[in-house]
Amino acid sequence: MHGSLKLIRGGDVVSSSGITRADLLVEGEKIKALGTPGSLEGADETIDAAGTFVMPGLIDPHLHLNSPFMGTVTVHDYARGSAAAAFGGVTTIIDFSTQPKDGSILENMAQKETEAKDSYLDWSVSGILLDAGPRTLEELPRLVAAGYPTYKCFTTYKHSGRLIDDEGMLTLLEATADNGGMLMVHCENDTIIERRLRMEIGAGHFAPIYHARSRPASAEVVAIRRVIDLMREVPATVYIVHVSAADSMALIEEARAEGLPIHCETCTHYLALTEAKLEGPQGQLYICSPPLRAQKDVDGLWRAVASGGIEIVSSDDAGVSPQDNYRIGEGRFDKVPSGLSGIESRLAILYSEGVAKQRIDLPKLVELAAQNPARLFGMYPQKGILAPGSDADILVYDPSVEWTMTAKELHMNTDFCAFDGWKIKGRVRSVLSRGSFVIRDGRLVGKPGAGKRVFRRLSH
Amino acid sequence: MHGSLKLIRGGDVVSSSGITRADLLVEGEKIKALGTPGSLEGADETIDAAGTFVMPGLIDPHLHLNSPFMGTVTVHDYARGSAAAAFGGVTTIIDFSTQPKDGSILENMAQKETEAKDSYLDWSVSGILLDAGPRTLEELPRLVAAGYPTYKCFTTYKHSGRLIDDEGMLTLLEATADNGGMLMVHCENDTIIERRLRMEIGAGHFAPIYHARSRPASAEVVAIRRVIDLMREVPATVYIVHVSAADSMALIEEARAEGLPIHCETCTHYLALTEAKLEGPQGQLYICSPPLRAQKDVDGLWRAVASGGIEIVSSDDAGVSPQDNYRIGEGRFDKVPSGLSGIESRLAILYSEGVAKQRIDLPKLVELAAQNPARLFGMYPQKGILAPGSDADILVYDPSVEWTMTAKELHMNTDFCAFDGWKIKGRVRSVLSRGSFVIRDGRLVGKPGAGKRVFRRLSH
Amino acid sequence: MHGSLKLIRGGDVVSSSGITRADLLVEGEKIKALGTPGSLEGADETIDAAGTFVMPGLIDPHLHLNSPFMGTVTVHDYARGSAAAAFGGVTTIIDFSTQPKDGSILENMAQKETEAKDSYLDWSVSGILLDAGPRTLEELPRLVAAGYPTYKCFTTYKHSGRLIDDEGMLTLLEATADNGGMLMVHCENDTIIERRLRMEIGAGHFAPIYHARSRPASAEVVAIRRVIDLMREVPATVYIVHVSAADSMALIEEARAEGLPIHCETCTHYLALTEAKLEGPQGQLYICSPPLRAQKDVDGLWRAVASGGIEIVSSDDAGVSPQDNYRIGEGRFDKVPSGLSGIESRLAILYSEGVAKQRIDLPKLVELAAQNPARLFGMYPQKGILAPGSDADILVYDPSVEWTMTAKELHMNTDFCAFDGWKIKGRVRSVLSRGSFVIRDGRLVGKPGAGKRVFRRLSH
Amino acid sequence: MHGSLKLIRGGDVVSSSGITRADLLVEGEKIKALGTPGSLEGADETIDAAGTFVMPGLIDPHLHLNSPFMGTVTVHDYARGSAAAAFGGVTTIIDFSTQPKDGSILENMAQKETEAKDSYLDWSVSGILLDAGPRTLEELPRLVAAGYPTYKCFTTYKHSGRLIDDEGMLTLLEATADNGGMLMVHCENDTIIERRLRMEIGAGHFAPIYHARSRPASAEVVAIRRVIDLMREVPATVYIVHVSAADSMALIEEARAEGLPIHCETCTHYLALTEAKLEGPQGQLYICSPPLRAQKDVDGLWRAVASGGIEIVSSDDAGVSPQDNYRIGEGRFDKVPSGLSGIESRLAILYSEGVAKQRIDLPKLVELAAQNPARLFGMYPQKGILAPGSDADILVYDPSVEWTMTAKELHMNTDFCAFDGWKIKGRVRSVLSRGSFVIRDGRLVGKPGAGKRVFRRLSH
């Protein structure tokens, strides 16, 4: 009736609280015990973890699988995406389900549940809301009650019908305050961007760098400021997605000091790349929104990551194929289906650029990529921590390996790698999802369809 | 060769990361394992913890034992103080050793080691520096190397020769940057205070409330600002003791956003009492420095405690006997030996005013009173966490008990209780220090002298 | 060929630069010379001004004459309004002309020119824009070229079709940057207000105080912040009308420190009354938008007036008859035609509450009510200063008179006086417009129709 | 009995309020009248000012004549200094008198009065206080009563006994609040500077640029912040001399917004030169304290000058001879007698860099260099304005001349010119002091000893 017993022995077990040399005993899908080395007995199988870091499996709360976009579709479906994620140390992914125009978010969610049937990893979905109308308001509590308590809206993309205006935002804040969910907001001020777009295009500026020029850091700052202004009216829980500008953090911290429940993330690429990429070869493959910023933003975001101001680092995996990028883009930045693939590379960058360069320590990495996503997205302590009774989602990381990142070395469904040629310290050795190996000694051994939906419930 | 095995069974084990129903296996002085209920076997003795919270023993990093002060001495020696602390859930205390005027801090530390011989609890000491002269600079690295890496200085008390001026502060910051220690600073601007003292006394204002009037919140704010200004020159690690004014937090947060390594604490009484006490009966027994503040400060400090801005809550236990308070004070606030006794009451107030009133959750309490003190004062993960291999310093707290605090119900060496008559939720049932009971089912069963010195080493 | 020569003898001549005992020689419509007492000769007529302050005639740049509004019309037409203004020391008024919905602002302006034919005083008009569409954009440069270089828009009143959204605001800023005009903005965030309105009305809250509750200071702050955010994109000259909240000033000052060309005014009533009036007798007669605020706002606005942060104090005269207020209001704050009559009382309040109470000095009063309106609205140095060659618009103020303000003592077209019963220090003795008496020794001696249009041209 | 009558005809008369084509009639030492062109008659002598700007004579409130300093003396005595000043459009100078160590400021002032006997221009003196002891406190009210109501202290130069510490500063603030004077403060934090000096010198860094490195902008910011902190205790009137860092202005503006009576100036060189000069040829001749800063500071200071944040631009003329600079400096920045000569060049730089480059307009120049110095230093409206009854201190400036600045073209007592080779627009044609020419058509025609002491009285 109990599952088999696995002992992960002799590793350095990492939590947000620190690092302890300990053995980890797994029974079936759950963690049974942690003990001093040699203290736990009775295992059916022993995995030697000496010399490795044993961490909670990572959680990626921001990615777009199988998502139609500007005439193409993102490169990863659940099978390919979750497999690549597992190679990146991830054990739980949260995809997005986009409400059809004037349609039902619940119906779209049902379709996502079908798509997810071949996931290697546990999964959930956040909604993307296109309106704050009566049907949406009626469906939101049902969404939350169904275990999908997070949903996103946009302050931009008016031209494609995705912008939520101030009134809509206040309505969603009220709904969120009532239903106990969390409103994720993509913050870029549309008015500023549209004006700049007109100007750049009018001036015949089509090169990739003008994507960044038309979406300045100030557009993000302004949009965040407005969300905060509205939160002062209705202080519902908000999560600012993909903060890219260092200046945004002062606003967010100030709002917190007032007691407003505002959370935020940044993404891997904002911590590692600058807009200089847009001016280099293959520049248009680096187009994403918000765009890559300046080095001072990279530095500022790392500071905020280290100090706790930024609580999560996600991937925002949303790449399309380079072929489609070039075909649809037609040499114009404004036609490029924007987005980077990064579902696999997050841990490598966080470890090599963060831990190895002493910008953060390893417990902080676990906090950013596992514990906080679990907490803020309502899966804690089932996920995000290695504690007795928690799911045995386990990442075994070997810090002694050094390798060079290339598209070929990775397992994402694209031949473009934003970090091509980067030297990486450490590599995922094994990944267990609910007690079963998905990756073992560097090879994919999991099964598509083994992943289960995680019923999420927020606790704030 | 191993110690006996104790199993603490069925409690809700609390860490800064959350609460898990788990069993805890203790071997000798160390924690051996945590496991799901019923999963750990082989114990010699089983302690039923069902219905309780099992937490890391608390750490109090700011208290004054046996300390000569304004013609008297603080009420607690190591035996009385540590026993009372244990009743308050504490397992480790950090006392202060004051450098003699123009003398050796190391010699004084040696005397403290003698005094500490009858402590029930593990202990350490921080230095108090009266100068930044050559001898002090020569001794500081030796102090750090000896396991005492924290030391305090004052921005006030010029009249009694304790003030460190800007030049001294810069010197201490440089020394601290070099030796890897942490400089604790008592922040009240002396010039502002001295002027107000002269004015109040000149006006014949001797009532206790004038103690607060002569030491306004602005004096704290100004002093903190100056420390930060100097940290911008020499960014050594600083710990602001007993923040009492809500306005101080904005400065500290701003400094952190710049990347400055500044930490801070508040104390129990600033979270629970206001200066109104100074105008009530026995007003002069509430005189402490910095003084109790306004309700808006209490509220602001709780907000900072909840959001992580304030990292530690200490007791600053420094009371003298009420008899001495009155005798020496002679009815003048400026002659009163200031300080409150609170070594035992911290947990009760944090739980009743904080957790029970939902200002913080229990994992945050553990962070504030155990994990962060252990981390910041260099005892982690030996202390401050219940993890395999850590010291078995364990607090068993029964949340179902309700009681009324009085001096008589407490075990401190004073018949004055600052929280007299307060209704308290929950009570310490048992406390183990390195695997041995100090408090068992509410009775003191430990032994004076059982406590050991903790060798502290900072890791920032 | 020259006009007659009048000598205003022995007064204390006030400019923004100071007060000088001097004689003033007027030739026809212009000031000919200022000289030391007794130094100027040849006058046809001598007016003894000994013991009085001789100031530039005041300019009121914000008032609504003959304006249809919520089913009624404001109480003052050009004849009644300008006469009352003259009793208040004013020599130039700037009315508003509202663009018809989807209509021509120029056509409306032409109608205003007809209405103005019976003005006692020189006058001009600012536009009120309801949209930023092609016709408006085409007309704006013509408006500016016609001597009407200032026009206002609203961030609120969406329900009545007056709100200009972000996109419209950016468009107007661009147009303003191009045409050299000044965009006046009524700043109250509509989304916040509409939500609160729904809540208050839904809760059955109809008393006057709920007008203020539904239009909080934060709505003004938010709206100003947004204008500034857009100015950072397009730094055209902006004038924030009727600042009512003290918190607004920090934003405005910050924007100025960045170099943004932002100006602002407050109005008499925000400097003298608080929302307490809304809870007193005749509360609904005090309804205006933005509403009266708290005492801390009154204090903060005076500080900003004194320090130069607020550059102008206008009247925003916009009252309807008390009878209409009650009839249309039907006991519901949201139906009340909001607005106060104040075209005559501005100087009395500024002098009594400001100068006599030493919040400002008299040169500052001249700056706020004459020189700055002239400068910012493009009439300087023709108006707003007593200098050789300037229009002989002269106010003779007798500081020795004390009187009690009542509706009956005033000359406005209403039997309601917002400052009823206030003790006033000093009174207008005489007013000259372009060299001719309008008020002489307290009696109206001017002629309707004597006023001329002032062709305004901005110089920034 | 009256003086002769001079008519200055047809110029553009400039005041802080604007520019008016007008005639100016001077009777004896006073201005008798201003009138429209041709309106004033009866002059004994007519000066044609057509095509020129007629302004109030400038006032330089910050310069050091005949001042012993680091083993030498500043280059200008009263005769040479005031003559050079007159060539720069100045009609009133305010020198400094330094209290002897532990000595009498009044006695030193008496000596200054002797030195001043050969001044071409009207003059006054501010004190420099070296202590806040009993004698100083006793003398201060007498100093103020004697018409010297301004005095300066230092927050630096501890090594040469000039530093006033916090306690001294509070004492001086209290004295100032009582006696109605104005405390001028040289703001550079000594502790920061001394540490950096030790470091640079210890590292063998002696080049001029290390003067700037050892006195960073942050030292100024910190010192100003501290003065403000103390003003919050005792809000006496303060004047921050020679603001050099753009970051200082935010602090000062914030303090003003709180209502604190804080004023400030910058000096010519901080508006025109950067620390790059210290790295160029003759670098050590550009050493002054505070040092020249970065371009962003120059830009920020101009913004503050334009917006009114900075109220005065002075010269801080304090140069020693280049020969002495090199001889005493011995190739070490720390031995160089710091200070620039600039008593003559202020107007040229303000006009060419300010007015001609449209950073400020001409009325603002008059405000910065004449009206505000007169107001803040207690000589208004006797000086600083062209109004009936004011002193006939008149500057006639010909904007049509263009010339190149060199030491030879100037009249200062030095062969070094900090602005050597700069193209200048406009030139002083004539200067009248109390109705008499000092400069006429570019030639010095005044007399040494013609200048009189101005009795100053503050009015705040």
Quickly count: other Cβ atoms within 10 Å of residue D178's Cβ: 14
The per-residue pLDDT for C231 is 98
Sign of CA dihedral B372, B377, B379, B383: negative
Q: Which residues of A touch C226 (CB under 8 A)?
A: 226
A173 touches chain B (CB under 8 A): no
| Cross-chain residue pair A36–B36, CB shorter than 8 Å | no
Is the Cβ–Cβ distance between C405 and C348 less than 8 Å? yes
DSSP per-residue letters across B45-113:
EEEE-TTSEEEEPEEE--B-SS-EETTEE-S--HHHHHHHHHHTTEEEEEEEEEPPTTS-HHHHHHHHH
Distance CA A192, CA A220 (A): 10
**pLDDT over threshold 70, residue B84:** yes
Mean pLDDT, range D297-317, rounded to an integer: 96
AA letter at C366: V
Distance CA B244, CA B395 (A): 28
What pLDDT was estimated at residue C166? 94
Residue B1 pLDDT: 43
Between CA A134 and CA A2 the distance in angstroms is: 48
CB-CB under 8 Å, A257 with B253: yes
Closest residue in D to C303 (Cα–Cα): D259
What pLDDT, on the 0 to 100 scale, is given for residue D257?
Answer: 87
With an 8 Å CB cutoff and a minimum of 3 pairs, decide whether chains D and A touch.
no
| Integer Cα distance of A145 and A457 in angstroms | 8
Mean residue pLDDT across chain B = 96
Closest residue in A to B33 (Cα–Cα): A35
Q: Which residues pair with D25 in a beta bridge?
A: D7, D33
3-class state of residue A349 by DSSP:
helix
pLDDT of residue B2: 58
Query: Cβ B21–A389 below 8 Å, yes or no?
Result: yes
Ramachandran class of D164: left when φ > 0, alpha when ψ lies in -120 to 50, beta otherwise: beta
Nearest CA in chain D to B174: D195
How far apart are the C-alpha atoms of B259 and A202, rounded to whole Å? 42
| B215-235 average pLDDT score | 97
Q: Using CA atoms, how far apart are residues D48 and A378, in angstroms rounded to an integer?
A: 85
Specify the 3-state DSSP secondary structure of A458: coil
Given A167, A229, A234, which is nearest C222 (Cβ)?
A: A229
What is the crossing angle of helices D217-233 and D166-179, to 10°?
50
Residue B313: pLDDT band with limits 50, 70, 90: very high
Instruction: Say if residues A317 and A77 touch (Cβ distance below 8 Å).
Output: no
Name the neighbours of A, counting chains with at least 3 Cβ pairs within 8 A: B, C
Q: What is the pLDDT of residue C69?
A: 85
Contact at CB, D170 and B189, closer than 8 angstroms: no
Which of A191, A218, A230 is opposite residue C167, by nearest beta carbon?
Answer: A191
Smallest CA–CA distance from B262 into chain A, residue? A307
Residues 376-405 of chain D with CB under 8 A from chain C are 380-381, 385, 387-390
What pLDDT sits at residue A121? Answer: 98
Structure confidence by residue, pLDDT tens digits, C94-125:
999 999 998 999 999 999 999 999 999 999 99
Average the pLDDT over each of B98-112, B341-355, C79-93 and give the range with the smallest value: B98-112
ipTM attached to this prediction: 0.92
Which residue in chain A has the smallest CA separation from B255? Answer: A307
Q: What is the 3-state secondary structure (H, E, C) of C100-147?
A: CCCCCHHHHHHHHHHHHHHCCCEEEEEEECCCCCHHHHHHHHHHHHCC
Taking an 8 Å cut-off on Cβ atoms, the answer to whether A225 and C230 are in contact is no
- Chain D contact for C460, CB < 8 A? no
Of all residues in chain A, the one with the smallest CA distance to B303 is A259
Position A2 scores a pLDDT of 58
Structure tokens at B380: 């982690």
Q: HSE on the CB side for C97, CA within 13 Å?
A: 23
Do you know the residue count of chain D?
A: 460
C contacts of D39 (beta carbons < 8 Å) = 25, 27, 32-33, 388
pTM score, whole prediction: 0.93
Mean pLDDT of B213-238: 98
Mean pLDDT of chain A: 96
Q: Which CATH number fits domain A5-55+384-444: 3.30.70.420, 3.40.30.10, 2.40.30.10, 2.30.40.10?
A: 2.30.40.10
Task: Tell me how far apart the alpha carbons of residues C158 and A457 are, in angstroms, rounded to a whole number.
Answer: 38
Residue D103: partners with Cβ closer than 8 Å, 6 or more residues away: none
* B322 preceded by a cis bond (ω within 30 of 0): no
Residue A93's contacts (CB-CB under 8 Å, 6 or more residues apart) are A59, A60, A63, A65, A81, A82, A85, A119, A121, A122, A123, A124, A343
In the predicted model, is pLDDT for residue D190 greater than 80?
yes
Which whole-number Å values give the CA distances from D312 to A29, B164, D227, D369, in the listed order?
75, 38, 19, 6
Assign D2 a pLDDT band (cuts: 50, 70, 90).
low
Q: How many residues does chain A have?
A: 460
CA–CA separation, A57 vs C136, rounded Å?
60
Checking if the pLDDT of C92 tops 70, the result is: yes
Instruction: Name which of C175, C169, C182, C145 is nearest C62 in CA terms.
Output: C182
**C interface mutation test: which of D36, D251, D359 has the most C CBs within 10 A?**
D36
What mean pLDDT do residues C134-139 have? 97
Interface of C with A in 221-260 (CB under 8 A): 222, 225-226, 229-230, 232-234
d(CA D12, CA D362): 11
Interchain pair B167, D218: CB under 8 A: no
Q: Is the peptide bond before C100 cis (omega within 30 degrees of 0)?
A: no
Could you give the CA distance from residue A257 to residue B378 in angstroms, rounded to a whole number? 28
Tell me the average pLDDT across D269-287: 97
How confident is the model at residue A3, as a pLDDT?
73
Nearest to A400 by CA among A136, A12, A123: A12
Bridge partners (DSSP) of residue C391 are: C30
Torsion sign across C-alpha atoms D205, D211, D216, D220: positive
Q: How many CA atoms lie within 13 A of B63 on its CB side?
A: 34
**Residue B301 — very low, low, confident or very high, per pLDDT cuts 50/70/90?**
very high
Identify whether the C-beta of residue B308 lies closer than 8 Å to the C-beta of residue B250: no
Chains linked to B by 3 or more Cβ pairs within 8 Å:
A, D
Which of C166, C187, C218 to probe by mutation at the A interface, max A CB count within 10 Å?
C166
Chain D closest-CA separation from residue B130 CA (Å): 19
Treating both helix axes as pointing N-terminal to C-terminal, what angle do A247-257 and B295-307 enclose, rounded to 10 degrees? 130
Going through C271-329 in order, the beta strands assigned E by DSSP cover: 312-314
Per the listing, tokens 């890496």 go with: B149
**CATH superfamily ID and name for B57-376:** Metal-dependent hydrolases (3.20.20.140)
pLDDT for res C1: 43
Q: What are the contacts of D435-438 at 24+ separation with CB within 8 A?
A: D435/D3, D435/D6, D435/D26, D435/D27, D435/D28, D435/D29, D435/D30, D435/D392, D436/D29, D438/D86, D438/D91, D438/D120, D438/D121
Pick among C15, C29, C36, C359 to test the D interface (most D CBs inside 10 A): C36
- The pLDDT, as a whole number, for residue C22 is 97
Please state, in angstroms and rounded to a whole number, the distance separating the CA atoms of residues A332 and A284: 9
Assess whether pLDDT exceeds 90 at residue A447: yes
Cα C84 off chain centre by: 14
Q: Is the pLDDT of residue A1 over 60?
A: no
Residue of chain D with shortest Cα separation from B232? D218
User: Residues B248-290: pLDDT tens digits?
Assistant: 999 999 999 888 999 999 999 999 999 999 999 999 999 999 9
Query: Would you tell me which residues 147-166 of chain B have a C-beta closer than 8 angstroms to some C-beta of chain D?
Result: 166
Answer whether A207's CB lies under 8 Å from A170's CB. no
Tell me what percent of the residues of chain D surpass a pLDDT of 90.
96
Best of D156, D159, D166 to mutate (most B CBs within 10 Å, chain B): D166
**Contact criterion met (CB < 8 Å) for D229 and B195:** no
Q: Tokens 């729904």 appear where?
A: C198
Number of CB pairs < 8 Å for B and D? Answer: 38
Residue spans of the domains in chain A: they are 5-55+384-444, 57-376
Inter-axis angle of helices B247-257 and B295-307, nearest 10: 30
Looking at CA atoms only, how far is residue D189 from chain B in angstroms? 10
> What whole-number distance in Å separates Cα of residue B327 and Cα of residue B68?
16
Helix or strand (DSSP H, E) at A396: strand A394-404
Q: Closest Cα to residue A317, out of A339, A296, A301?
A: A339
Q: How far does the CA of residue B254 sit from the closest CA of chain A (Å)?
A: 9
- CB pairs below 8 Å between A and C: how many? 41
| A104 close to A432: Cβ distance less than 8 angstroms | no
Put simply, the answer to whether D257 touches C33 (Cβ < 8 Å) is no
Residue C6: closest CA among C35, C29, C38: C29
CA nearest neighbour of B69 among B358, B417, B316: B316
Beta bridge partners of C425: C402
Q: How confident is the model at residue D286 (pLDDT cuts 50, 70, 90)?
A: very high
Q: Which chains touch C (3 or more CB pairs under 8 A)?
A: A, D
Under an 8 A CB cutoff, do A170 and C195 touch?
yes
